A and B are shown apart, each in its own frame.
Chain A
Amino acid sequence: MANEAVLHAHSGVETHHDHDHGHEHHHHETFITKYIFSQDHKMIAKQFLITGMVWAVIGGLMSVLFRFQLGYPDATYPWLEDILGKWAKGGRISAEAYYALVTTHGTVLVFFVLTAGLSGTFANFLIPLQVGARDMASPFMNMLSYWFFFTASIVMLSSIFVETGPFSGGWTAYPPLSALGDASPGSKIGMDLWLVSMALFVVSSLLGGLNYIATILNMRTKGMSMTRMPLTIWALFFTAVLGVLSFPVLFSGFILLIFDRHFGTSFYLSDIFLASTNTALPNEGGSAILYQHLFWFLGHPEVYIILLPAMGMVSEILSVNSRKPIFGYIAMVGSLFAIAILAFLVWAHHMFVTGLNPFLGSIFVLLTLLIAVPSAIKVFNWLTTIWRGNIRFTPGMLFAIGFVSLFISGGLTGIWLGNSALDIHLHDTYFVIAHFHIVMGVASMFGMFAGVYHWYPKMYGRYLNNTLGYIHFWVTLAGAYLIFWPMHYEGLAGMPRRYYDYSIWESFKQFGELNKFISTVAMIVFAAQILFLINFFYSIWKGRKVKEQNPYNASTLEWTTPINPGHGNWPGEIPEVHRWAYDYGKDGREFISQTEPVGADESKH
């Protein structure tokens, strides 16, 4: 039935396309319809990518600024006052500014860079190209998705410039701190803007996610059964499902928070006396923990929303550049599915020390550690994929290998923190920072870089400079480990996260030298990212031109399109698919494209 629907849908699109094709050379596309309000999934992908990059620079720069405070808490830098004004009086970042930087860094990196910038970019770019569709199910909704994201960005950006400062209570925005302007200046207008921005972002995610799901389910080309899809598409599919099911819950949490802030309700508030105003609030009967449940019901799937696209792309890139099929395709899909299901059942492991019912906690321990099983399957399958391959170290491949390394390192510490008997000691220490930055932050960033390097020729018809790519990779990989590996030790000393200054603490002040070191490395790594940016933008216009249609000898459909595909992707008919996406090195042949019919004497696998 699905196939028929696909066929049907295609015949419709094709007629439309033929019409387009006839006018290709004098087709009226203004600057605005082509580059701004574009409905071409490829252009929207680039919009997501570049907006994500802008946010990555802002968020990264923020981390460099607060690392100044952590690395050199006693030093003063007059230039800081020049750029930050009252937020760095006397050349030292104030506690208020520090917390605002930390909070905004977290929010934009998690949502704007690693959600919109990652799955927004690659879901848009790869889904139609790899399943064989002319565009998304609804190009218009797709365009709206980007513009809601853009509006969310503008609102978030504006919150940095309000007088009382942006929200500063941590990216998780736990009430009562986030509900009460009198508890923290950042919780005044800055928090309203934060909430509005996040609400717009949820709308953007939902519009995008529904589109991705609809496209994958309904618009696959003839012969592209679900089990012939590249793993990227499977990963992006589960990502979209996670987002569609969990973002609304987050949204509901935000709505209740807005009510508590402005309309006198007590969903989250109870028994509060504020010293700053010397008054007891009227609210009674609310539960501050309710918010945490609503938040983490998205918050944990969010981790996988960030991670799964990276996993999918890494699977693809490892296979292509090892010249070998991905090992255990069905197990890879199955483990993605298992991770997606479990992602919904583990949220309370962020809440072991909130006074959660211990029995409930124990269920969450069990389910959390269960995630290690599909994760282990994935790691071993990746290792087996490169085993006895013939590896080409393209920059994309390097980042994919780096991803696996980081995923192992950061994933293993998840076994520590998912165990409540250890979490009760390590919760909210630097151990947690090390864990999630490695496994979610840097690893997914590596997945994103792998994707950008690998598909750049398809995006712009030009190559990135490889030498810069190599430098970028090795500096970033070494730097990421140098920054986050030692943080495990700070965590093992019990050093709490989100501290502006450790000098008054007898138990935590012994890491001054280390913090200096980490801050210095952070700056170097940030500089290496600027190198990437230069490479990226320079190569759009001046990079080496792509001359072959299929530069990697890859078997997936995106490489059957012209070097610079127009809107509609394939000039003629959409190719038909006859096999899975991973016939590399089969029967002595380098690769077999998905579009090639299965030969009579071809071996089975």
Chain B
Amino acid sequence: MTVALSVAILALFFLVIFQIAKASEYVAILKGEEVSRKQSNKINGFLMIAFLVLGLVGVWYCNELLYDKTLLVQPSASVEGERVDEMLWITLAVTGVVFILTQILLFWFAYKYQESENRKPYFFAHSTKLEAIWTAIPAVALTVLVVMGLRSWFLFTGDAPKGAMEVEVVGKQFGWIFRYAGEDGIMGKKYFKNIDEAKSNPLGQIWEDEANYDDVVTTQTMYVVKGKPVKMIIGSRDVIHDVGLSHFRLKMDAVPGTPTTLWFTPKYTTAEMKEITKNPNFQYEISCDQMCGNGHYSMKGVIEVVSQAEYDAWMAKQTPNYLLAFPEKAAQPVADKEAEKGTTAQATSTKNSSKM
């Protein structure tokens, strides 16, 4: 009913506009087409300058409304991300100036040089000097931007600093799996055909490889240490995903069959960031930034940035995935509760951990 009504109203609205437009055409013929053409030329000329003024005010007003909701008001949560922010501000300054200048010229010219009987258009076909100027200036400005950008780019994509902690990040429809190398510092080999969720092997770890024995596998939440570079070794189990780290100003695709890497140095713990943003619910969210299926929008992970001590305490509570897959291998009996859990490597309530 309401639909039919709104369609009817809309149709009526169109009809009215249409009739007005038709009428204006008849009026134009009565008044003389040339007269009414000049009239509408004036109106459109005025609208040009009005649009310019309103548009620039709108740009300012939009900024007033939305600026606080962006990341521009938050410091970058990673040391490397500061360079992204720096690049962003410089690019904004350069493009902002060009934007304002050219838009003003465009609409002001349109207004100023609207048709008038007294004006003879100026026959001006080319000027090598002018064209050389506006080829050279953008070329120089862009060279500066390219050089600055590439210096950061090579830092982002270069080797992680020595002593960086490594975490494997694996995307799947629709969630994240993380793996830590354990005490030996080596992640064991894996093969995708070994993947078996029911047998607590979401990554396909090869159990013959002893390096796998102490690897800790978790889902959903990843723990990293403030001030300590972390290198992500990123992969995917099914389709392409993307590890989107907006607070750290970085992202990298997760591609099945082709591992990628991304490293950064967290600057603030989650708790500190809650204070900086004045948002008690603040989380470092990992958003999937590559279309990965119908659950794409819900593919959320969380990064907890903590102090080294907190990290050590957390890690001490984790059970290596090997023991979750083979509870009988545990040196000491594992609490029943944990053995039951088996299917996932979620390490939330492992109180009396039984590390080997």
Which residues does A use to contact B, with CB under 8 Å? 79, 95-96, 99, 168-170, 174-177, 180, 183-186, 269-276, 278, 280, 284-289, 322-331, 353-355, 358, 361-362, 365-366, 369-370, 372-373, 376-377, 379-381, 383-384, 386-393, 398, 401, 404-405, 408-409, 412-413, 415-416, 419-422, 424-425, 427-429, 465-468, 470-471, 474, 477-478, 481-482, 485-486, 489, 492-494, 496, 498-502, 504-508, 510-511, 514, 527, 530-531, 534-535, 538, 544, 582, 584-588, 605
Contact = CB atoms under 8 A, between A and B. Distances in A.
Given A328-B131, A470-B44, A419 B87 contact: yes
Contacts, number: 387
Contacts of A286: 257
Contacts of B51: 474, 477-478
Interface in B55-105: 55, 58-59, 62-63, 66-67, 69-72, 81, 83-84, 87-88, 91-92, 94-95, 98-99, 102-103, 105
B296 A499 contact: yes
Nearest to B130: A384
Q: What 3 pairs across the A-B complex have the smallest Cβ distances?
A: A494-B246, A270-B257, A355-B260
Given A324-B123, A393-B45, A419 B283 contact: no
A280 B192 contact: yes
B252 to A, nearest CB: 5
Given A99-B296, A358-B154, A373-B138, 9 more contacts: A177-B292, A269-B256, A272-B192, A398-B44, A420-B149, A424-B156, A486-B66, A489-B63, A587-B123
A511 B62 CA distance: 13
B247 interface: yes
B259 to A, nearest CB: 8
Contact of A79 (B3, B44, B237): B3
B152 interface: yes
Contacts of B95: 412-413, 415-416
Contacts of B45: 391, 393
A275 B172 contact: yes
B113 A468 contact: no
B348 interface: no
B107 interface: yes
A494 B71 contact: yes
8 contacts: A275-B237, A376-B137, A384-B130, A392-B41, A421-B84, A428-B251, A492-B72, A585-B122
Contact of A389 (B3, B88, B113, B242): B113
A444 to B, nearest CB: 18
Contacts of B150: 362, 365-366, 420-421
A169 B69 CA distance: 29
Interface residues of B, number: 127
Contacts of B148: 421
Interface of B: 3, 10, 14, 17-18, 20-22, 24-25, 37, 40-41, 43-45, 47-48, 51, 55, 58-59, 62-63, 66-67, 69-72, 81, 83-84, 87-88, 91-92, 94-95, 98-99, 102-103, 105-107, 109-110, 113-116, 119-127, 130-131, 134-135, 137-139, 142, 145-146, 148-150, 152-154, 156-158, 172-173, 192-193, 195, 197, 204, 234-235, 237-240, 242, 244, 246-247, 249-253, 255-261, 279, 281-283, 285, 287-298, 300
Contact of B240 (A176, A391, A538): A176
A275 B238 contact: yes
A502 B297 contact: yes
A482 B55 CA distance: 10
A330 B121 contact: no
B195 A95 contact: no
Contact of B84 (A275, A422, A502, A531): A422
Nearest to A428: B289
A416 B148 CA distance: 12
B295 A505 contact: no
Given A355-B260, A401-B48, A492-B70, A422 B87 contact: yes
A184 B293 contact: yes
